[in-house]
Amino acid sequence: MKLNDFINRNILLCKVVLWRIVSVISMLLTMWVLTGNIGKATGLTIIVQIIQTLVHATFEVWWRNYSKSIYRK
C-alpha cells in the first residue's frame, strides 16, 4: 500500500467518525424532544446510527471508486 493510499484511508475514516459523532448528538436530541423519553431516544439513536455508519462508509468507498472510473475515461 502506498503512503498516499494509507493517508487517504485514514482521512476517510476520520471524516466518517466525526460525522457520526455530529449525527449521533443531533439525532439523540431530536429523538428526545420528539419522544420525551431519553431511554427510547437513546435506543432508537443507537440502532439507526449503526446502520447509517455502515451505509455511509460503503457509500464513500463506492463514490471514490466510481469517481475514479469516470476520470479514467
pLDDT value of residue 40: 96
Q: Name the one residue in this structure whose C-alpha cell is 485514514.
A: 10
pLDDT value of residue 73: 61
For the chain, which residues make up each domain, given as ranges?
3-72
Q: If you average pLDDT over residues 10-38, what whole number do you get? A: 92
Q: If you average pLDDT over residues 21-46, what whole number do you get? A: 95
What are the Cα distances from residue 27, in Å, to 7, 48, 56? 30, 9, 16
Confidence of residue 2 (pLDDT cuts 50, 70, 90): confident
d(CA 7, CA 17): 15
User: What is residue 36's DSSP assignment?
Assistant: S
The mean pLDDT value of the chain amounts to 89
